[in-house]
Amino acid sequence: MPRPAGPVPIERVRNFCIIAHIDHGKSTLADRLIQRCGGVSEREFRDQLLDSMDLERERGITIKSNSVSLLHETNDGERYQLNLIDTPGHVDFSHEVRRSLMSCEGALLLVDAAQGVEAQTVANHFVAMEYDLEVVPVINKIDLPAADPERVREEIDEELGLDPFEAVLASAKKGEGIEEILDAIVTRIPPPGGDPADPVRALIFDAQYDTFRGVVLLVRVVDGEIRRGDRVRLMRGDTDHIVEEVGLLRLRREPVDVLSAGAVGYAICGIKRIQDIAIGDTVIDTARPAETSLPGYREPRPVVFSSVYPISTDDYGELENALGKLSLNDPALTYERETSTALGFGFRCGFLGLLHLDVVQERLQREHGLSLLLSAPSVRYRVATRDGELHEVENPAYYPDPAIIDGAEEPYIRASILIPERSVGPVMELLTERRLATSRMNFLSSRRVEIQAELPLAEVLFDFHDRLKTVTHGYGSYDYEVLDYRSTKLVKVDILVNGERVDALSQLVHEEKARPRALGYCERLAEAIPMHNFKIAIQGAIGGKIIARTNIRALRKDVTARCYGGDVTRKRKLLERQKEGKKRMKQVGNVQIPQSAFVAVLKSSPAA
């Protein structure tokens, strides 16, 4: 393993990232680069090292970025330091992707040789262009039987506007093309600029928490130099910190004397709590403070909300504890206490998107062993009341009295949808169903179309991805960014069981969707609540107005046919089990609702 013989001069440093659609092989390529450059010994090597969380490995996505410094010796004996900056690989984390890109001069744009260019590839490419990065296209997975590199070259040409002949053909899995990729990084990606003599400005692109050292800032030094002992300040904070240690992000942290302009590394400054820093903030020198911060900070804004309840009320404390732990490393996750008559104590949580929600839910269940019930995801509405106040409402429980509401707004997105040309009809139909505002079509190549569509965020929260895949026979993909708030006709739909409101099932929806949504809930609830020996009315209501109704008929017979001497024990055991089951049900009025009914209603995504 080559050891650094002194620091690598800045002109032989390359800062790059890998951008790719989910599952196009980013982590595998990163592993190969690390192995090839000896950044990690065989013993230490684990498959897909960068995705250190189990969950990430399983889902094949990177949620928390990890970055690593590689030493690469070219054929002519020159030593290069290649800083690979990891990026999260999904639309929900697009802001984190941006921060990673801001720390680089170049990007490997990975395209699956069988799947071709996808919506996210395009979106990521646009962002890379925005930051003026040198983009090196890599066609990966050329070993696959379905690989069609020539078609992918065409797409790279027509849909991304990149020179298809500059694309490197590779199979990260088989280790093919790795030398060519390293060559391209060295020759095509420029060395970082920046003046070591200028006042210090370093972008915090990520942070880790170390039990012994506190917060470890991952930084890209843009200007100036950071040394141990320097007195620094975070631009958004007002506390001075002494730099305890700076270093490179090898597999383990490797201390160095100085991080100069252009360098990527870490800094430990005695900060104890991760809440005290903000990713995207700028580190400056207290003695010679730079005047402007680096662009990069944006308050993480949750856009998708869901109520999270433990299935067993005993688990509430554990849930609170678990959310606390998760939010330490995930500032985008928000949560606040909430009570439901039907479900007990829980939390209203905010997420960056549906995937973020999914990831948090799985981590709570897997790492903390919790069984959870999540309410249907919703967005944050703005509601103006007659008294001139503007309320942000993402929880139906806090929806103001409709009598005093002046108007409401909901968030809109711009979705970029890449589909085969033959699917335009069904996709437009799907979009219209989803309250499409405007759309624009770009014919990218002979077979592929990009639809840029503006529609409410709420409309993609329910099964949009699945429906898109269905109507495009698996070929469609989409990405989105939140645009703005626009006027909407909002109503609160309540679900009543024998006249009693089930608070956990109330929801805010667009007027047009109220009836089908209410009916869907009523029908699923009617299927999931067992018959009682009286009739049960399940209704959807807006205020006092009933808009949907189903009934569960009274059980007119619930007695086993024959019951003689030999049947008593079996019969009693059955009744005991049923009585036990009843205990675990939630009581709404005189109706017993099994937990499974809430799961059935909340989990499945309404067709409307």
Partner 1 sequence: MTERPDSTSLPPDPLTGTPESDAPGLYVHVPFCSRICPYCDFAVTPLGDSGSERLDRYRQALLTELELRAAALGADTVYFGGGTPSLAPAGFFRKVVRAAVKSGLAAPSPFVFLEANPEDLVHDPDLARRWAAEEVWGVSLGLQALDESRLRFLGRAHHASEVVVAVSRLAEAGIPWISADLIYGTAGQTSESLREELVAMAALPGVNHISAYELSIEPGTPFGRRQARGETLAVRSEDGSALFHEVHETLAENGFAAYEACNFATAPEFRSRHNRKYWSSVEYLGVGPSAHSFAPERGERFWNRRGFEDWEAAVLRGEEPTVERETLRPYERALEELFLRLRTTDGLPLGGFSARYGEAVVRANRGLFENWRARGLVELSGDEMTGWLRPTRDGLAVADALAREMNLDALRHRNVA
- Closer residue to partner 1, CB minimum distance, 5 or 561: 561
Residues 68-127 that bind partner 1 (CB under 8 A): none
- Closer residue to partner 1, CB minimum distance, 212 or 564: 564
With beta carbons less than 8 A apart as the criterion, state whether 114 and 148 touch.
yes
Kindly calculate the radius of gyration of the chain based on its CA atoms and give it in whole angstroms.
28
With beta carbons less than 8 A apart as the criterion, state whether 38 and 47 touch.
no
- Closer residue to partner 1, CB minimum distance, 3 or 562: 562
CB of residue 581 vs partner 1: minimum separation in angstroms?
9
CB of residue 527 vs partner 1: minimum separation in angstroms?
15
- Closer residue to partner 1, CB minimum distance, 239 or 578: 578
With beta carbons less than 8 A apart as the criterion, state whether 215 and 272 touch.
yes
CB of residue 557 vs partner 1: minimum separation in angstroms?
3
Q: Residues with Cβ < 8 Å from 578, sequence gap 6 or more? A: none
CB of residue 555 vs partner 1: minimum separation in angstroms?
6
Using alpha carbons, list the distances in angstroms from residue 583 to 341, 463, 498, 543, 580: 16, 33, 20, 31, 5
- Closer residue to partner 1, CB minimum distance, 392 or 576: 576
Tell whether residue 587 is a contact of partner 1 (CB under 8 A). no
Distance of CA 140 to the CA centre of its chain: 24
- Closer residue to partner 1, CB minimum distance, 43 or 562: 562
Question: How many whole angstroms separate alpha carbon 87 and alpha carbon 120?
Answer: 13
Residue 42, Cβ density class (10 Å: 0-12 exposed, 13-18 middle, ≥19 buried): exposed
- Closer residue to partner 1, CB minimum distance, 242 or 555: 555
With beta carbons less than 8 A apart as the criterion, state whether 308 and 319 touch.
yes
Please give, one letter per residue, the 3-state secondary structure of 429-474. HHHHHCCCCEEEEEECCCCEEEEEEEEECHHHHCCHHHHHHHHCCC
Residues 536-575 that bind partner 1 (CB under 8 A): 553, 555-566, 568-569, 571-572, 575
Residues 484-543 that bind partner 1 (CB under 8 A): 532-534
CB of residue 574 vs partner 1: minimum separation in angstroms?
9
- Closer residue to partner 1, CB minimum distance, 473 or 572: 572
Number of residues that bind partner 1 (CB under 8 A): 25
CB of residue 373 vs partner 1: minimum separation in angstroms?
24
Residues 222-281 that bind partner 1 (CB under 8 A): none
With beta carbons less than 8 A apart as the criterion, state whether 136 and 185 touch.
yes
- Closer residue to partner 1, CB minimum distance, 43 or 557: 557
CB of residue 582 vs partner 1: minimum separation in angstroms?
7
- Closer residue to partner 1, CB minimum distance, 293 or 498: 498
CB of residue 585 vs partner 1: minimum separation in angstroms?
12
* Nearest to 62, CA basis, from 70, 51, 54: 51
With beta carbons less than 8 A apart as the criterion, state whether 250 and 305 touch.
no
Question: How many whole angstroms separate alpha carbon 326 and alpha carbon 322?
Answer: 6
Question: How many whole angstroms separate alpha carbon 70 and alpha carbon 66?
Answer: 13
Question: How many whole angstroms separate alpha carbon 273 and alpha carbon 328?
Answer: 8
Q: Is 246 helix (H, G, I), strand (E, B) or coil?
A: strand
- Closer residue to partner 1, CB minimum distance, 446 or 569: 569
CB of residue 569 vs partner 1: minimum separation in angstroms?
6
Lay out the site mask for partner 1 across 413-452 (x = CB under 8 A, - = otherwise): ----------------------------------------
CB of residue 577 vs partner 1: minimum separation in angstroms?
10
Residues 150-169 that bind partner 1 (CB under 8 A): none
Among 236, 337, 582, 603, indicate the residue that binds partner 1 (CB under 8 A): 582
CB of residue 579 vs partner 1: minimum separation in angstroms?
6
Q: Rounded to 5 degrees, what angle do the CA atoms 340, 345, 349 make? A: 90
- Closer residue to partner 1, CB minimum distance, 146 or 559: 559
Question: How many whole angstroms separate alpha carbon 94 and alpha carbon 414?
Answer: 14
Among 576, 584, 603, 607, indicate the residue that binds partner 1 (CB under 8 A): 576
Among 187, 578, 587, 603, indicate the residue that binds partner 1 (CB under 8 A): 578
Q: Two tokens at 487?
A: 């006027």
Strands 372-374 and 304-310: antiparallel
Residue 481 carries which side chain, given as an amino acid letter? Answer: E
CB of residue 94 vs partner 1: minimum separation in angstroms?
49
Sign of the C-alpha dihedral computed for residues 523, 529, 533 and 535 taken in this order: negative
Residues 324-353 that bind partner 1 (CB under 8 A): none
Give 55's DSSP letter.
Answer: H
CB of residue 576 vs partner 1: minimum separation in angstroms?
7
Question: How many whole angstroms separate alpha carbon 330 and alpha carbon 64?
Answer: 9
Q: H/E element holding 526?
A: helix 511-528
- Closer residue to partner 1, CB minimum distance, 301 or 572: 572
The residues binding partner 1 (CB under 8 A) are 532-534, 553, 555-566, 568-569, 571-572, 575-576, 578-579, 582
